[in-house]
Every structure is written in C-alpha cells, then in structure tokens.
C-alpha cells in the first residue's frame, strides 16, 4: 500500500484532496505538481510582456483546470455597463459566437461585482436574483465566484462553474480562485501603468520628433525657399550666379532629404532595432509558448535589410498568428519560419490544430488587422485552414529596391 501522508497541522485535508486512485500519495504528488506548475505559469505570464488578454486567458484556463470545473470566466467591467475584458475557458469560439454579444453587468454577474466577496452557489438558477441567460448559453449549476480586488475596489471577477467531482466547489477551490484573482489584479494594474507609461512616452516621442524635424528639416527648407527666390530674381540680371544659387538649393534639398530619412528610420519599434526581427519574434515565441505550456519553434534564415515599416508588419503578424495558434488551435506545437526569397521575405506560422473557416471566422480584430498590415506594405497574406485541418498563415512581403 502507498505511503499515506498525514496533513500538517492547519493544513486542510478531506474535501481538499482529489479523489484517490490506487496510490493516494502519488496522486497527491501529481496533483501538487499540477498546482505548482499552473501557478508558476501564471506568475511567469504576469511578469512577462504578454498582452493582458493572454495573461487573463492563462489565468482562467489554470483556474478552470485546478478547480476541476467545466467552465471558467473572468470579467473586467467597463464604465458603460458592459465588460472591457471578458475571457472564458471551456466554451468553443463557435459556441461563444452563438451565445451572442458580451454580457451586460446585470443579474448574477452584477451580484458578484457588488458583493465584493467570494460567493458559492449549489445551483445558481435557484437564486432569486437569477435572470436567466441567452438561448445558446450552457446550463450552469454550481458556481463559485470571487472578486478581483485592487485595494478594496472590485475591478473584476473570476468564476468557475460545474465542478466535475461531486459535492460542488470547496473551501480549497475558493482559496485557489482568490489566489488567481490576486494575480489577475496585478496583471490588470500593470497593464494600466504600462498604458500610462506608454502614453507618456508617446508624448515624449512626439516632442522629440517635432524637435528633430524642426532642427533637421524645417530650417533647411526655409533656406531652400530663400535661395530659390534669390535665384529666380538673379536669372535676368546674373544668370551665372543664379545657376550657382540653384545648385546650392539642390544640395540643401539633398541634405534635408537625408536628415528626414534618418528621422523616419529612427521611428522603428525599439525592440526590433535592438534584437532584430528574428530575435524579437523568437523572444515573443518563447514567452507566449511558455504561457500556454506549448512549444513554439522559430526557424529563421539570412534576411535582407528591411525597412522599419516592413519589419513591424512582419513582427505584428507573427505575434498575432502565434497567439491565435496557441489560443484557438489546440495544437501541441507551433512552427514559425522566416525565409528570404528572391524578391520577398516570407513568414509562415503553422499549427496542427483544429483549423477554422477563414471566410466565416468572426472573433476579434486579429485576422482583419493581419490583412490590413499585409496590404499596407504591398504584401500578401494567405490563410490556409478549414475545420479539422491544420492551419498555415503565410505572409509574403516584397523586398524594396533602394
Ligand atoms: N490557428 C487557429 N486555429 C483555429 N482557429 C483559429 C486560428 N486562428 C484563428 N482562429 C479562429 O478565428 C477566429 C478569429 O481570429 P481573430 O484573431 O480575428 O480573433 P480572436 O483571436 O478571437 O480575438 P483577438 O485577436 O481580437 O484577440 C478566432 O476566434 C478563432 O475561432
Ligand atoms: Mg486573435
């Protein structure tokens, strides 16, 4: 018989344990391993540079898995009675589309937001405050909801619904969901601070740009205009001097052009300038893969020099396609390939997942923004996918000839 561990004083036992198979000790170990792993993934995600949405998604997925629930969701209300973020796990994208638009802050969601403390329902439908749900919404019975708090202010909630193990949600589930709610609060606060810092740096950047443009270009253009006028007046009287003036107009215009070019080149995202395109994509792939516990392999060959705009487009499309493959495809691994062709740089993101209908897919803004970005540099975006088939996204960006 396996070794039976006694709970330490103060440690919860009984209902806190998952049902044991033949070997309870081993079962406990692997259960603890999963708890540590999930929590560590969430902590890493919170500390990473992933989008807040990816982090919240990770939190909801971990909460659902550890609470052994059929569904989980996380909502962050906005000021207009709806939700700034509403991420769910346990429901397919298609089901979500059928359910319809985001919920409003009413019914039981409002109750969880107003109470500001954990709530447990054996059957949420029997609560007098229950309003019902849209036709395609799954039937929820037992529900555990906890607030996400920033100080004493409720900034959102997490709930888990329909526990697989009989007996409903436990004290331990509540503590765990509260732990994830604390992580979500950090992620949301970080995101807000980050956004504020970004706004400030955008303002600083604008001021710097205005200064650079003034120093480099505006003053030169002023001289160009003065010299051009002088040349025009000299033409009838002193054509030789007029020609000299026109030559110096051309030289000044050339300088202004070169300096403008330098200002424009300085506008490339700093990340790309520092680590290069392949390095930046690799960096994102590692972080995002770790968050979802999946492998993202990046292969990159020698690339020609690309301007800032093309690099940005390639980077953003890679980011969105990797994120989509990790979030939606269910594939265990994702492959990214960046190759140089004769007149183009080609980016491919492939997964072995569930696939989807690119013509009918509606979800977020990801697919359409990838198309727009591709078009903005004269590139082509191809989405090869259909339900049940693996997905490949292929972006080809023509290489400019300077
Ligand atoms: N690699 C993929 N595998 C399976 N389904 C996918 C894949 N990529 C996209 N989809 C489907 O296409 C839908 C639309 O994708 P899109 O990127 O436009 O939106 P989103 O990812 O749901 O939200 P957003 O990108 O705005 O955060 C997704 O919701 C998903 O159903
Ligand atoms: Mg997307």
Output the CA angle 114-64-127, nearest 5 degrees.
Answer: 40
Check if 135 has its Cβ closer than 6 Å to any atom of ligand 1: no
Among 16-20, 303-307, 335-339, which stretch is predicted with the lowest mean pLDDT? 16-20
The CATH 3.30.565.10 portion of the chain extends over 271-398
Task: Tell me how far the alpha carbon of residue 386 lies from the centroid of ligand 1, in angstroms.
Answer: 13
Task: Tell me how far the alpha carbon of residue 298 lies from the centroid of ligand 1, in angstroms.
Answer: 21
Nearest Cα residue to atom 26 of ligand 1 = 364
Question: Contact 373/365 with Cβ under 8 angstroms?
Answer: no
Sheet of strand 333-340, all strands in order from the earlier edge strand to the far edge = 295-300, 333-340, 344-351, 391-398, 380-384
Of all ligands present, the nearest one to the C-alpha of 383 is 1
Task: Tell me how far the alpha carbon of residue 364 lies from the centroid of ligand 1, in angstroms.
Answer: 7
Task: Tell me how far the alpha carbon of residue 61 lies from the centroid of ligand 2, in angstroms.
Answer: 17
Query: Tens digit of pLDDT for each residue in 83-101?
Result: 989 999 999 988 988 988 8
Residue with the bigger pLDDT between 402 and 200: it is 200
Give residue 207's pLDDT band: very low, low, confident or very high (50, 70, 90).
confident
Query: Tens digit of pLDDT for each residue in 183-196?
Result: 999 989 888 887 77
Check if 356 has its Cβ closer than 6 Å to any atom of ligand 1: yes
Task: Tell me how far the alpha carbon of residue 272 lies from the centroid of ligand 2, in angstroms.
Answer: 21
Predicted pLDDT of residue 363: 66
Check if 65 has its Cβ closer than 6 Å to any atom of ligand 1: no
State the CATH architecture for 203-265. Answer: Up-down Bundle (1.20)
DSSP string, 100-148: -SPPPS-HHHHHHHHH-S-EEES-GGGSTT-----TTS----SEEEEEE
Q: Which atom of ligand 1 is nearest to the CA of 94?
A: 31
The CATH 3.30.450.40 portion of the chain extends over 23-194
Extract the tokens encoding 18.
């998952």
Predicted pLDDT of residue 70: 97
Query: Tens digit of pLDDT for each residue in 128-156?
Result: 888 888 888 999 999 999 999 999 999 99
Closest CA to 144 of 167, 123, 164, 119: 119
Residues with Cβ within 8 Å of residue 400, at least 6 apart in sequence: 307, 310
The CATH 1.20.5 portion of the chain extends over 203-265
pTM (two decimals): 0.48
State the CATH architecture for 23-194. Answer: 2-Layer Sandwich (3.30)
Check if 329 has its Cβ closer than 6 Å to any atom of ligand 1: yes
Nearest Cα residue to atom 25 of ligand 1 = 366
Domain 271-398: assigned CATH number: 3.30.565.10
Percent of the chain with pLDDT over 90: 49
Q: Which atom of ligand 1 is nearest to the CA of 349?
A: 1
Check if 266 has its Cβ closer than 6 Å to any atom of ligand 1: no
């Amino acid at each position: 018989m396996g070794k039976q561990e006694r709970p330490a004083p103060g440690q919860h036992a009984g209902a806190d344990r998952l049902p044991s198979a033949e070997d309870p000790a081993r079962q406990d170990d692997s259960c603890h391993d999963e708890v540590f792993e999930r929590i560590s993934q969430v902590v890493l995600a919170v500390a990473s540079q992933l989008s807040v949405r990816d982090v919240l998604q990770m939190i909801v997925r971990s909460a659902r898995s550890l609470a052994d629930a059929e569904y989980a969701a996380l909502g962050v209300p906005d000021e207009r009675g709806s939700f700034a973020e509403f991420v769910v796990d346990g429901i397919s994208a298609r089901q979500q589309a059928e359910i319809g638009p985001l919920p409003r802050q009413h019914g039981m969601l409002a109750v969880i937001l107003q109470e500001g403390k954990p709530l447990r329902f054996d059957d949420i439908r029997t609560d007098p405050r229950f309003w019902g749900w849209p036709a395609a919404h799954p039937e929820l019975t037992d529900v555990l909801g906890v607030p996400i708090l920033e100080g004493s202010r409720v900034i959102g909630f997490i709930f888990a619904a329909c526990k697989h193990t009989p007996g409903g949600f436990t004290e331990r589930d509540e503590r765990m969901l509260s732990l994830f709610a604390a992580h979500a609060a950090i992620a949301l606060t970080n995101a807000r601070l980050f956004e504020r810092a970004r706004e400030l740096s955008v303002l600083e950047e604008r001021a710097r740009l205005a200064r650079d443009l003034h120093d480099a270009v505006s003053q030169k253009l002023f001289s160009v205009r003065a010299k051009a006028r002088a040349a025009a007046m000299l033409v009838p009287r002193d054509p030789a001097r007029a020609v000299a003036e026109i030559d110096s107009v051309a030289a000044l215009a050339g300088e202004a052009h070169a300096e403008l070019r330098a200002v424009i080149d300085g506008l490339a995202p700093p990340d790309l300038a520092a680590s290069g395109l392949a390095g930046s994509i690799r960096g994102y792939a590692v972080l995002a893969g770790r968050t979802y516990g999946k492998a993202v392999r990046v292969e990159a060959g020698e690339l020609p020099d690309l301007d800032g705009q093309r690099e940005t487009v390639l980077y953003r499309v890679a980011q969105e396609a990797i994120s989509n493959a990790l979030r939606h495809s269910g594939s265990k691994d994702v492959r990214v390939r960046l190759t140089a062709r004769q007149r183009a740089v080609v980016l491919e993101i492939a997964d072995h997942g569930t696939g989807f209908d690119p013509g009918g897919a509606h979800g977020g803004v990801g697919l359409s923004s990838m198309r727009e970005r591709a078009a903005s540099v004269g590139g082509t975006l191809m989405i090869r996918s259909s339900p049940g088939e693996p997905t490949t996204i292929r972006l080809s960006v023509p290489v400019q000839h300077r």
